[in-house]
Amino acid sequence: MTLRTKRVYEDPATDDGTRVLVDRIWPRGLTKEGARVDEWMKEIAPSTALRKWFDHDPRKWHEFQERYRKELETHASHVARLRELHEAGRVTLLYAAKDQAHNNAVALQSYLEQPFG
C-alpha cells in the first residue's frame, strides 16, 4: 500500500485514499469541508515545544527527526492507528508547512515506513 504526504492546501484527489491531518494546529484559512480530512490526528504531531524549536529550519532537520521519533515512541496507539489505516489502503499524511521536504509529515512517513516489531 502507498503512504504519501501532501500539503493540505493542495486540492483533494480521488487517489489520496484516507486523508489524515498530522498537524497539531488546524491549517489557517481552510474549512473542514474544504480540506476533506478523514481524520485529524493532532496528538501524533510534534509537541509545541519541538515544533517551535524546529521552526522549519532545514539546518535542524536531522535533529528534529531524532527528537520527533522519540516523541512518536510515546504515542504507540496513534502510530498503531496509522499503521492500521496504511495496511487497509492508501493513506495521505496532510500537513500545512510550506517546506515540502522538511516537515513533520515527511518525518512521520519515514518513521512509519521502517520495519517495526
29-70: pLDDT as tens digits: 999 888 999 999 999 999 999 999 999 999 999 999 999 999
Q: Do the strands 91-95 and 3-7 form a parallel or antiparallel pair, or are they unpaired?
A: parallel
Q: Which amino acid is at 82?
A: L
Mean pLDDT of the chain: 94
> What are the φ/ψ torsions at residue 102 (nearest 5 degrees)?
-125, 80
> What is the per-residue pLDDT across 95-114, written as a single tens digit (0 to 9) for each?
999 999 999 999 999 999 88
In angstroms, what CA-CA distances link 2 with 15, 60, 87, 115? 10, 28, 9, 15
Q: What is the pTM of this model?
A: 0.94
Strand partners, 18: 91
CB 112 within 8 A of CB 2: no
